[in-house]
Amino acid sequence: MLFVLGPDALSPLPVTSQHLLTDHYPEPAPGRPYPPQKLQCKNLLMEEWVKAAPDPARYPYQPSLQPHPFMGLDQFSAGRIHQMRSGKSYLCAHPSRDSDAPTTCPSCQSAPETFEHAILLCPAKEPSRTRHLQGVLDLGPDAPVWSWAALLGALARFITSTALAFPPRMFLRPTSAVSSLSSRSSHVVSFAYFISSQES
């Protein structure tokens, strides 16, 4: 049984549900401010999360209790990035695709269409890369693109301009697909969340 302070901050109220980390629930420290205890709980939660559900070896990005910065992009672009980072996208070399389908990049036919190839290496996308991705040289966990607003915006514009990892069904009706692309492009440059976090 756990207790929280009631509205009058005098009498404790019982909490019927047990703490998620019963064995690691931090002991109250008299006179200790709340923020350090909150941080301790977050650290313990992260440790348990990593132990209970470790990321697959192919996923190099570290888990976080904070939203990934690219989640501040428009919903469609953020979804493409999240899927490609996790290796579960519409790129041909990702295992979520039909296992019998070819993995070769359909744009250049020269290499498997992996995340790195599609963004950084595909020769067929060089014109769009030159136009939009100046400064994006790496996609690793510590790459600047994952924390800089300007680079995230550039990546989103590149994805939109090349229709990278778009669902194939979007191209079944060309008119509606073009309309959808135009609508989504208008939202790509909204990054107030990132800009404010960088300036703070």
Domain ranges of the chain: 2-52, 71-199
pLDDT score of 16 more than 70 = no
The pLDDT value recorded for residue 100 is: 77
Q: Given this model, what pLDDT does residue 48 score?
A: 87
Is the pLDDT confidence value at 128 over 50? yes
What percent of the chain lies above the pLDDT cut of 70? 66
**Residue 28 carries which DSSP code?**
P
Side-chain-facing half-sphere of 117: CA atoms under 13 Å:
19
Average pLDDT estimate for 106-116: 95
b or e along 151-190 (b: 16 or more beta carbons within 10 Å of the residue's beta carbon)? bbbbbbbbbbbbebbbeeeeeeeeeebeeeeeebbeebee
Instruction: Identify the residue with better confidence: 190 or 103.
Output: 103
Report residue 166's pLDDT band, with 50, 70 and 90 as the boundaries.
Answer: very high
The predicted pLDDT at position 70 comes to 94
Examine the pLDDT at 18 and tell me if it is beyond 80.
no
What is the distance between the alpha carbons of residues 139 and 137, in angstroms, rounded to a whole number?
7
Residue 34: per-residue pLDDT: 64
Instruction: Name the average pLDDT for the chain.
Output: 76
Closest listed residue to residue 147, CA positions, set 76, 20, 62: 62
Instruction: Name the maximum alpha-carbon separation found in the chain.
Output: 70
Sign of CA dihedral 162, 165, 166, 168: positive
**Is residue 82 pLDDT above 50, yes or no?**
yes
Question: Which pLDDT score is estimated for 131?
Answer: 94
Where does the pLDDT of residue 181 fall: very low under 50, low under 70, confident under 90, or very high at 90 and above? Answer: very low
Q: Are 127 and 80 in contact (CB under 8 A)?
A: no
> Looking at residue 151, what is its pLDDT?
94
Q: What confidence score (pLDDT) does residue 2 get?
A: 43
pLDDT at 8: 45
pTM reported for the whole predicted model: 0.64
What whole-number distance in Å separates Cα of residue 22 and Cα of residue 186? 47
Average pLDDT of the residues in 160-183: 65
**Cα–Cα distance, 88 to 103 (Å, whole number):** 13
